[in-house]
Amino acid sequence: MKINITGVFVDDQQKALRFYTERLGFQKKTQVPVGEFEWLTVVSPEDPDGVEFLLEPAAHPAVGPFRQAMLEDGIPLASFAVSDVQAEFDRLSSEGVEFLQPPVDHGPVVTAVFDDTCGNLVQITQEK
């Protein structure tokens, strides 16, 4: 068994697609109409056949209160591995990505947290 797809709920799928591809550097993998929304996934260019990240519509009534509570508590809903958190922080900051937590050394890992502009906090992590 392996992880095939994971993702986050987003306010606007097209806005999310632009953010995750143009700002973060992911590649669109799947875009299939499903009613008024789409089955929309992105993948890492480093592993195009790897785990897909689903940009799921946040239309279900339970999503709003859940995401609001997570945002208020500062809890990221996704985590991406990077080889150098400081370098990614610098690169993404120059792209206009808003960080809520700059790089922090936690001993075995370094993390930083940013806003994905679509209703979620995302963490980048570097294992030392």
- What is the extent of the structural domain holding 99? 5-127
pLDDT value at residue 103: 98
pTM (predicted TM-score): 0.94
Cα 11 from chain centroid (whole Å) = 13
Helix or strand or coil: residue 23? helix
Provide CB contacts within 8 A for 71, sequence distance 6+. 119, 120, 121
pLDDT digit string (tens) for the chain, length 128 residues: 999 999 999 999 999 999 999 999 999 999 999 999 999 999 999 999 999 999 999 999 999 999 999 999 999 999 999 999 999 999 999 999 999 999 999 999 999 999 999 999 999 999 99
Domain total of the chain: 1
CATH code of the domain covering residue 48:
3.10.180.10
pLDDT value at residue 107: 96
